[in-house]
Structure 1
Amino acid sequence: MDPTTLLFQATILSGVCCIGVVVYLRYFYVDFGRIEGIPEIPGGSSVAGHLYMLGQDHATTAESWAISNTWPVYQIRFGYRRAIILNSFDAAREWIVTKQTSTIDRPWLYTFHGVVSKTSATIGTNPWDERTKKQRRVVGSYTTAPAIRKLEPMLDVETSQMISGLYEDGKHGIRAISPHIYQKRLALNIILMFCYSRRFAAIDDPLLLGILSDANTISSFRSTNSNAQDYIPYLRHFGGGKRTVEATEVRGRRDRWLAGLLEKARDSVRLGKAKKCVAQGLLVDKEEGLTKQDIRTILGGLMSGGFETVFATAIIGIAFLASPAGEAAQKSAHADITSNYSTPQEAFERAALEEKSPYIAAFVREVLRFYPPLHLLPPRQTYQEFEYHGSKIPKGVLVYMNAQAINHDKDKYGPDADQFRPERWLDKESGYEVPPPYHFSYGAGARMCTAVNFSNRILYAIFLRLIVSFEIIGSKEDPPETHYIDYNRNTTAASAIPKDFKARFVPRDVGILEECLRKSQETEVDLAG
């Protein structure tokens, strides 16, 4: 055979091999083989793995697989990524708390990190390195107990404005209204005041609605359900273009309003008129050596997701109170408030300063347990190899906490785990002792939400002031949905946002309520000045 023919055949063979390699990497490559000793869900395709088997509600399907197979821990494939799913409290605690140094990392995901966060990353979702460690330390310094005390006037203002809005717009309890926007404004205003010393007065402010809309869209790019291109690489070029375009557009909008907020804070610092807030502290910080990217990452992370837990929990908590079962909870809560405070005025005033009502604190914990704001928590990634019950877990494997399943674990919470019962946190004779973190709605371990104490304080103030101010009565025409799965309006999204409902907020005593609101307005004047 002549050399030209041989060269031609060799070229063809090389081309076929290259195509074969590309096809394998794009369609059939899996980052890790099956992990011995960890059961694997049967089935799954060679390309997508179990991704599409999970259907429209990944957390619920994953929970049903755990129950039907009696596997609290199992492995699946998200396309080319092998993943471990944790579905029980004890398993999650062992992996995420006991072995936290081994599971401290986060994966890099194409859509969220490569597109949405290309210009402004977020602390909570960043892979673990010294920069992320420093950024978390800086944020933690703003949420210590002394720091939270400095935020009490802000919390007083926002919870009072929320109560005032429900009171006035609900025509003093005559008209049934939706509580959603009031809780969203409250949560966003607290984060805005915390970060930039700025707040929205009107619930229909275009920038307020724009930020809320963008935050909801950005949250969707953390969902395992809506971003198949993260796990099936060829979709980034064939079929995933629409999501990439949407991610690019929301990134541009988010960058513009973040830049505008930071520029106003920078101007205040230059003019010597800055009020104490995170942006001001970061801009003048000399000790940490923060870069512009550090500042953008810290503020972007707080603004992108810092308020979702609060408003989602507040809304579903109100939904439960407005349901038939919630009537008894309102009575128990009001009785506990009355026994711990001398007057309703004292309870209202002290709500932002202390957590004196055991029942309200238990109610907050139960809402978080029963209705986790993120049913499937953002993934971890193993940071180093470790052993689990005889199985060798390699470095770099995805780890998902199924908060929906973990928080309803009957082995940990008892046979009534599927019932909403705040008393479980007050009953010392139940025989079910639940250790910290009590539930996994904030995550756990070294990557646990840094603002957990502040978030709990906000929720405590919200529910105490609501209950001391109103009797909450659900609308018969637009009643609340309170089932721990069915209440979620969109199971394909990362965040669980309650479906729309309406309720009447009937003042317990108009004179006392108006007196409390007048007094809180003085705090607002002080903040404004």
Structure 2
Amino acid sequence: MSLTYKGRAIIDLLSFRFDKIDISISLPVIALVATLLYAIYVLLTLTDKPKIRGIYEVPSALPIVGHLLQLGDDHATVCEKWWRKYKHDVFQIRLGNTRAVVVNSFDACKEMLIGHQSACVDRPTLYTFHGVISSTQGFTIGSSPWDESCKNKRKAAGQTLGRPAMRSYFPMFDLETYCIVRDLVRDSKGGELSIRPYLQRYALNTTLTLCYGIRMDEVYDNLLREVLEVGSAISLLRSASENYQDYIPLLRYLPNNEKTQRGKSLRDRRDKYLDQLLNQVREMIQNGTDKPCVAAAILKDEETKLSGVEVSSICLSLVSGGFETIPGTLTSCIGSLSTPEGQVFQDRAYEDIKRHYADVSQAWAKSLEVEDVPYVNAIAKEAERYYTVSAMSLPRK
């Protein structure tokens, strides 16, 4: 009986209090709270670009992070799974506060990147790579936003690496390929060894010769290894899976930010060896032993139509880019040809060489100057097509 009495007393008290509440006050409060909650939701899901109409969006994006957590460490594989799961070869996703469009199939890539080439020529700027690592030496050509300076750099690099200019580099290629064969024979001692370090030296020496008139003869030269180590680490920091702070700005302001500190450390190490290379060129100019190269032309005030920063960017692009793509492709190709199945292709290539040249020594001498052996050309093109250096292309804007 007493419990029933207490229960009724509580109900009467609550009824009395709710009766006294002014409905005109409670409605604005509810509206304000709802507005604040909606504003917070919008801020947490806001992207630099609104949702693109007509392009499928992958579902289940989370507030703040978007699809970053779902992408994990292997973005390329996850994007391929989404392509097959949702039956869309082009779709949009959210990388934190950034909206991105992923293009998977060959036909879609051809239509977008070739059919709309001028619309995809720009590059996005990322906090870690552009704001931290590249704050001293400028951007590489492939990562530069499109402007007049970038246009000049691409034009100059195209002239430097174009087919007409290649003829003047034949002696350099002759020397570097000779050194590969020489050192492989010397170091293998009839056994097995990894060819990748030798191919890395080849790739880096060709760009160093073009930019600074310098080459390194030892495969495990300290400077050579430093350039390769720093360059590879910087490439990893450009990945979205490595740098959430590029897409979630709040992370940039955390104390003892490991990614920012790592970026600054790599920037300082890169600045050190780039300054070392430039100082070597200055020293050679003073001693009269310099060779024709991009850096020497600038230091001697020769007409280049490029600023010092633009030339530095070109040199940085060549030094940073070649040592990753060329060794990977060559290692894949040589590795495939070295298998029992690959021996067949070697025999066919050798027979095709003998079909075009009466003497093998003549073929060797002509190999740098002409490309008139169809089967060898086919192997080279297939190596470029088959092996993918990077699972995902650099982002376009």
Scaled to the shorter chain, the TM-score interval is 0.7 to 0.9
- 1:301 is displaced (CA, Å) by 1.4
**Which ranges of structure 1 fall in alignment gaps of 5 or more residues?**
1-16, 382-529
- The match for 2:184 is 166
Distance 1:227 1:288, change over 3 A: same
Distance 1:24 1:74, change over 3 A: closer
For residues 232 and 369 of structure 1, what CA distance do their matches in structure 2 show? 36
2:346 partner letter: Q
CA shift digits 1:105-159 (9 cap, x unpaired): 0000011101111111211101100111111111122122221100000001101
- The match for 1:436 is none
1:162 partner letter: I
- The match for 1:403 is none
- The match for 1:211 is 227
For residues 55 and 389 of structure 2, what CA distance do their matches in structure 1 show? 28
- The match for 1:96 is 113
- The match for 2:357 is 341
- 1:43 is displaced (CA, Å) by 1.6
- 1:44 is displaced (CA, Å) by 2.1
- The match for 1:108 is 125
For residues 363 and 260 of structure 2, what CA distance do their matches in structure 1 show? 49
Q: Secondary structure at the match of 1:30?
A: coil
- 1:278 is displaced (CA, Å) by 2.0
For residues 125 and 18 of structure 1, what CA distance do their matches in structure 2 show? 39
Q: Secondary structure at the match of 1:83?
A: strand
- 1:240 is displaced (CA, Å) by 8.2
- The match for 1:301 is 317
**Which ranges of structure 2 fall in alignment gaps of 5 or more residues?**
1-34
For residues 267 and 308 of structure 1, what CA distance do their matches in structure 2 show? 29
CA shift digits 1:396-445 (9 cap, x unpaired): xxxxxxxxxxxxxxxxxxxxxxxxxxxxxxxxxxxxxxxxxxxxxxxxxx
2:141 partner letter: I
Aligned counterpart for 1:137 among listed residues 149, 155, 169? 155
Distance 1:85 1:131, change over 3 A: same
Do the aligned residues in 1 keep the contact of 2:281 with 2:295 (CA within 8 Å)?
A: yes
- The match for 2:174 is 156
**1:199 correspondence with 2:215:** yes
Structure with max Cα Rg: 2
Do the aligned residues in 2 keep the contact of 1:219 with 1:305 (CA within 8 Å)?
A: no
1:310 partner letter: I
- The match for 1:76 is 93
Q: Which has the higher contact order (CA 8 A, sep 6+)?
A: 1
Q: Secondary structure at the match of 2:51?
A: coil
Alignment of 1:311-322 (within 5 A): 311-322=327-338
Aligned counterpart for 1:176 among listed residues 188, 192, 212? 192
Do the aligned residues in 1 keep the contact of 2:298 with 2:304 (CA within 8 Å)?
A: no
CA shift digits 1:78-97 (9 cap, x unpaired): 11111111112221122111
**1:260 correspondence with 2:266:** no
- The match for 1:490 is none
For residues 18 and 287 of structure 1, what CA distance do their matches in structure 2 show? 61
CA shift digits 1:8-65 (9 cap, x unpaired): xxxxxxxxx999989965x432112221111111222122111221222211221222
1:322 partner letter: S
**1:124 correspondence with 2:142:** yes
Size of the aligned set, in residue pairs, is 362
Do the aligned residues in 1 keep the contact of 2:92 with 2:102 (CA within 8 Å)?
A: yes
Do the aligned residues in 2 keep the contact of 1:38 with 1:73 (CA within 8 Å)?
A: yes
**1:87 correspondence with 2:122:** no
- 1:66 is displaced (CA, Å) by 1.6
- List, as ranges, runs of 4+ consecutive aligned residues in structure 1 with deviation greater than 6 Å: 17-24
Do the aligned residues in 2 keep the contact of 1:106 with 1:128 (CA within 8 Å)?
A: yes
**1:278 correspondence with 2:294:** yes
TM-score (norm 2): 0.85
2:395 partner letter: P
- The match for 1:510 is none
CA shift digits 1:285-336 (9 cap, x unpaired): 6555432212221111111113321111111112212233322222222222
Choose 256-265 or 277-286, whichever is displaced more.
277-286
Aligned counterpart for 1:249 among listed residues 265, 278, 282? 265
For residues 377 and 370 of structure 2, what CA distance do their matches in structure 1 show? 11
- The match for 2:81 is 64
TM-score (norm 1): 0.65
Alpha-carbon RMSD across the aligned residues, in angstroms, is 2.3
Distance 1:284 1:354, change over 3 A: farther
Do the aligned residues in 2 keep the contact of 1:184 with 1:311 (CA within 8 Å)?
A: yes
Distance 1:22 1:127, change over 3 A: farther
**1:32 correspondence with 2:43:** no
1:204 partner letter: Y
